[in-house]
């Protein structure tokens, strides 16, 4: 491996900043979420409610101190404006249908505050605040109320400003609007800004490795000692990956192709690190990816703390949540009394008529909350310090709870699905890093093209340096290029170990992705290699489908043409164009019918397609008929599996255009979801012209699949 070309860290970080800026703008505009909830008319508010973005006509009906010292407000429909139809039998107003969900970030503001004429400057300020409202996270939704927790994102209780803003809501008619959650962006931006400013002497060894200023250190096999695995079922490639990660001194990549037990391996690695008295920070790009690890680690009796807003955590991991521990653990005792006092004071405000008395209580409340925050932060600090394993999402790791915490190892699961800037949130202070992922499946979804920032960066660089060398070194830096990918390209396969036994697919389903993408190294475990639908643990008839793992319905011949379709969002907005193929959809539907006729439960089957136009069509044909059947996009199905998967490839045209079927990582995801049965529907003539990968795939299917040719006349 030739020495890597070093990448200047400030240049990398400023390019990322530009790319992130563009991406955020693209995301906000495509999601159409209002980023400011300032003055909007009643009719706009009603439209926003009808389209699932807001809840109007609310009043604050109750407040209590909730998790992490946040104020949790209960918002009920205003009885004064609730219509007769919207009331329950006992006359209580109901919320009606709305699209506000648990975990959503919302802003609650006063509807009347907007546009009022006010006299004094101080009042004007207050009025402005009321318009601006206060941000919170939805913790519960019910028929008669929604509950919203106010306070800093990432925990730590209420700030003084939040306190006042919530108090301002009492007695007002308010509304709540869903906001784009930009904590992740903020944290990525802050991290990149920090990187831009860092001086050479501040770079950690890991940073210098990650940007090619130096090469990874030799493995330290002696220091990691002999490994006694706690899990006797680990296979050799899993054991080797764990040993490698233990011996590495700076960077180790664990490459986990589909179904190879990546998480299984990480659990053992974490246990081994804890045995060696190492402190470990474990992160993932999503709450689910992190909770998945907490769930599997918790029974092992290792002290773990999960950082993150309790509203977004799985109920099964709540007892390990930092905010819950702050209340339930012994360490939490120091904040309990004060919380009670705050609640009592708060309740007394509403009973007090005199303005002077109210202000007095208000002042007391401020002091109490300050005390609460101080005690809580001490308690949080102790809890985190005492835990060998701390878990958070990548952006959650940028919260105040981990500010002064040092970890021996940072592990990132699903690293190939995270933006690189996101990974750097926990990595800036890291000494040793383990990344687990599969760069041959889809990277994180990116909406922007990155073109503007590329142009800006090259211009800026040329102006600054007078040449384009730096721009050259940044070639290939885009948001879609993950840290996992980049490190592999920079330092070569020596920094990675691959898991090779897969526990999902029948051998015949695995063969093509293994040979084409994983150097033929995948092995199907004995338990799965010959499993067929007919072997399912419920009654299944023996048919051509239930005894065959791989079926190819080849629609070649021109009778199954694709169609361009406008892609319409739920709100009726034009999203762009997509493709559909009605005749092919009929082939898919027939295949699903015959699987179900043979006794396969709809819940065991998924139908997936890369095109939203086709997904809409298939949904119309199949959703009502088989409610348990799963219908989805290929991208959305990454990380999932089903007993039987039917893939509709859609493209069929005389020009042999294949669009984004040309992305082999997407096809890899599509073909590696099933356990026992994969059925591909597509036009081999069109598809085989798309790329050499697609040509090999079509050849493979022709030779190895149960090949069938649908008759267009039969279908009509």
Ligand X SMILES: Nc1ncnc2c1ncn2[C@@H]1O[C@H](COP(=O)(O)OP(=O)(O)OP(=O)(O)O)[C@@H](O)[C@H]1O
Min. distance of Cβ 188 from ligand X in angstroms? Answer: 24
Of the candidate residues 214, 263, 348, 405, the single one contacting ligand X (CB under 6 A): 263
Of the candidate residues 15, 18, 235, 581, the single one contacting ligand X (CB under 6 A): 235
Q: Give the nearer residue to ligand X in terms of CB position, either 195 or 293.
A: 293
| Binding characters for ligand X, 85-104, by CB under 6 A (x = yes) | --------------------
The SS3 of residue 576 is strand
Q: Which residue has the CB atom at the shortest distance from ligand X?
A: 261
Of the candidate residues 169, 234, 283, 427, the single one contacting ligand X (CB under 6 A): 234
Min. distance of Cβ 517 from ligand X in angstroms? Answer: 14
Min. distance of Cβ 221 from ligand X in angstroms? Answer: 23
- Give, for 75, the enclosing helix (H) or strand (E): strand 71-77
Beta bridge partners of 708: 553
Of the candidate residues 262, 375, 454, 591, the single one contacting ligand X (CB under 6 A): 262
Min. distance of Cβ 632 from ligand X in angstroms? Answer: 16
Of the candidate residues 68, 73, 77, 258, the single one contacting ligand X (CB under 6 A): 258
Determine if 503 is a binding residue for ligand X (CB under 6 A). yes
Q: How far apart, in whole angstroms, are the C-alpha atoms of residue 252 and residue 470? A: 27
Q: Give the nearer residue to ligand X in terms of CB position, either 365 or 499.
A: 499
Residue given tokens 């920070």 in the structure block: 281
Min. distance of Cβ 238 from ligand X in angstroms? Answer: 6
Of the candidate residues 153, 184, 238, 387, the single one contacting ligand X (CB under 6 A): 238
Min. distance of Cβ 241 from ligand X in angstroms? Answer: 11
Determine if 497 is a binding residue for ligand X (CB under 6 A). no
Determine if 259 is a binding residue for ligand X (CB under 6 A). yes
State the pairing for strand pair 174-178/105-110: antiparallel
Spell 347-386 as b/e; 16+ CB within 10 A means b.
Answer: eebeeeeeeeebeeebeebeebbeebbebbbebbebbbee
Could you give phi then psi for residue 387, rounded to 5 degrees?
A: -95, 130
Determine if 233 is a binding residue for ligand X (CB under 6 A). yes
Stretch that binds ligand X, among 62-70, 132-140, 229-237, 368-376 (CB under 6 A): 229-237
Min. distance of Cβ 311 from ligand X in angstroms? Answer: 25
Determine if 264 is a binding residue for ligand X (CB under 6 A). yes
Calculate the alpha carbon distances from 672 to 2, 511, 642 in Å. 34, 10, 10
Min. distance of Cβ 548 from ligand X in angstroms? Answer: 24
Q: How far apart, in whole angstroms, are the C-alpha atoms of residue 119 and residue 60? A: 27
DSSP annotation of 50 reads H
Alpha-helical segments (H) within 152-297: 160-168, 183-197, 205-210, 221-224, 236-247, 262-275, 287-297
Q: Give the nearer residue to ligand X in terms of CB position, either 443 or 682.
A: 443
Q: Count interface residues toward ligand X (CB under 6 A).
A: 13
Q: Closest by alpha carbon to 451, among 32, 21, 30?
A: 21
Q: Give the nearer residue to ligand X in terms of CB position, either 295 or 408.
A: 295
Q: How far apart, in whole angstroms, are the C-alpha atoms of residue 262 and residue 115? A: 56
Q: What is the largest CA-CA distance in the chain?
A: 87
Q: Give the nearer residue to ligand X in terms of CB position, either 146 or 634.
A: 634
Residue 137 neighbours by CB under 8 Å, 6+ apart: 103, 104, 105, 106, 148, 149, 153, 309, 311, 312
Q: Is residue 275 within 8 Å of 408, Cβ to Cβ?
A: no
Q: How far apart, in whole angstroms, are the C-alpha atoms of residue 88 and residue 167? A: 29
The SS3 of residue 411 is strand
Min. distance of Cβ 413 from ligand X in angstroms? Answer: 8
Q: Give the nearer residue to ligand X in terms of CB position, either 133 or 259.
A: 259
Spell 387-398 as b/e; 16+ CB within 10 A means b.
Answer: bbbbbbbbbbbb
Q: Give the nearer residue to ligand X in terms of CB position, either 97 or 233.
A: 233
Q: Give the nearer residue to ligand X in terms of CB position, either 234 or 274.
A: 234
Min. distance of Cβ 262 from ligand X in angstroms? Answer: 3
Determine if 256 is a binding residue for ligand X (CB under 6 A). yes
Residues that bind ligand X in the complex, under the rule CB under 6 A:
233-235, 238, 256, 258-264, 503
């Amino acid at each position: 491996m030739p020495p890597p070309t070093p990448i200047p860290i400030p240049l990398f970080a400023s390019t990322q900043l530009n790319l992130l800026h563009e991406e955020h703008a693209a995301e906000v505009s495509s999601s159409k979420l209002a980023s400011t909830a300032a003055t909007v008319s009643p009719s706009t508010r009603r439209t926003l409610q009808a389209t699932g973005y807001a809840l109007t006509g609310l009043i604050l009906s109750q407040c209590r101190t909730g998790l992490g010292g946040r104020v949790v407000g209960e918002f009920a429909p205003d009885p004064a404006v609730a219509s007769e139809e919207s009331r329950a039998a006992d006359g209580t107003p109901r919320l009606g249908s709305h699209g506000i969900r648990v975990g959503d970030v919302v802003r609650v503001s006063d509807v009347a505050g907007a546009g009022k004429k006010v006299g004094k400057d101080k009042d004007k300020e207050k009025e402005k605040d009321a318009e601006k409202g206060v941000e919170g996270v939805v913790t519960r939704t019910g028929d008669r109320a929604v509950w919203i927790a106010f306070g800093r994102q990432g925990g730590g209780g209420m700030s003084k400003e939040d306190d006042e803003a919530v108090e301002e809501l009492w007695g007002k008619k308010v509304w709540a609007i869903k906001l784009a959650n930009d904590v992740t962006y903020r944290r990525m931006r802050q991290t990149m800004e920090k990187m831009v400013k860092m001086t050479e002497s501040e770079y950690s060894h890991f940073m210098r490795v990650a940007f090619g200023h130096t090469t990874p250190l030799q493995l330290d096999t002696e220091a990691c000692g002999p490994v006694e695995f706690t899990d006797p079922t680990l296979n050799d490639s899993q054991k080797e990956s764990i040993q490698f990660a233990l011996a590495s001194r700076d960077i180790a990549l664990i490459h986990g192709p589909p179904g190879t037990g990546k998480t299984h391996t990480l659990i053992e690695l974490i246990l081994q690190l804890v045995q060696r008295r190492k402190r470990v920070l474990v992160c993932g790009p999503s709450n689910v990816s992190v909770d998945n690890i907490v769930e599997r680690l918790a029974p092992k009796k290792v002290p773990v703390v999960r950082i993150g807003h309790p509203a977004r955590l799985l109920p099964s991991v709540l007892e390990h949540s930092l905010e819950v521990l702050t209340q339930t653990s012994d360490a939490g005792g120091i904040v309990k009394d004060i919380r009670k006092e705050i609640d009592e004071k708060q309740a007394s405000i509403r009973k007090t008529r005199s303005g002077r008395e109210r202000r007095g209580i208000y002042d007391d409340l401020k002091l109490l909350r300050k005390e609460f925050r101080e005690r809580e932060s001490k308690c949080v600090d102790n809890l985190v310090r005492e835990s060998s394993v701390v878990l958070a999402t990548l952006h959650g790791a940028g919260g105040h709870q981990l500010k002064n915490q040092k970890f021996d190892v940072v592990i990132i699961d699903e690293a190939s699905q995270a933006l690189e800037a996101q990974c750097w949130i926990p990595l800036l202070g890291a000494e040793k890093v383990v990344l687990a992922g599969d760069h041959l499946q889809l990277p994180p979804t990116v909406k922007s093209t990155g073109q503007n920032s590329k142009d800006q960066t090259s211009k800026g660089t040329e102006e600054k340096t007078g040449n384009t060398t730096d721009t050259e070194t940044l070639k290939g830096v885009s948001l879609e290029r993950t840290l996992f990918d980049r490190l592999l390209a920079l330092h070569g396969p020596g920094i990675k170990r691959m898991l090779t036994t897969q526990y999902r697919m029948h051998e015949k389903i695995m063969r093509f992705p293994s040979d084409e993408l994983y150097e033929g190294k995948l092995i199907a475990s004995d338990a799965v290699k010959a499993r067929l639908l007919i072997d399912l643990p419920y009654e299944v008839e023996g048919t051509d489908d239930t005894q065959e793992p791989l079926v190819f319905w080849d629609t070649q011949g021109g009778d199954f043409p694709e169609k361009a379709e406008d892609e319409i969002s739920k709100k009726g907005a034009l999203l762009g164009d997509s493709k559909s193929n009605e005749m092919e959809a009929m082939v898919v539907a027939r295949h699903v019918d015959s699987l179900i006729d043979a006794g396969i439960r709809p819940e065991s089957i998924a139908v997936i397609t890369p095109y939203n136009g086709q997904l809409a069509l298939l949904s119309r044909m199949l959703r009502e008929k088989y409610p348990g059947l799963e219908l989805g996009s290929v991208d959305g199905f990454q990380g999932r599996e089903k007993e039987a998967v039917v893939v509709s490839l859609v493209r069929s045209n005389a020009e042999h255009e294949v669009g984004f079927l040309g992305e082999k990582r997407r096809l890899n995801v599509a073909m590696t979801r099933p356990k026992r049965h994969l059925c591909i529907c597509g036009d081999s003539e069109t598809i085989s012209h798309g790329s050499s990968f697609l040509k090999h795939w079509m050849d493979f299917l022709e030779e190895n699949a149960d090949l069938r040719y649908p008759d267009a006349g039969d279908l009509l």
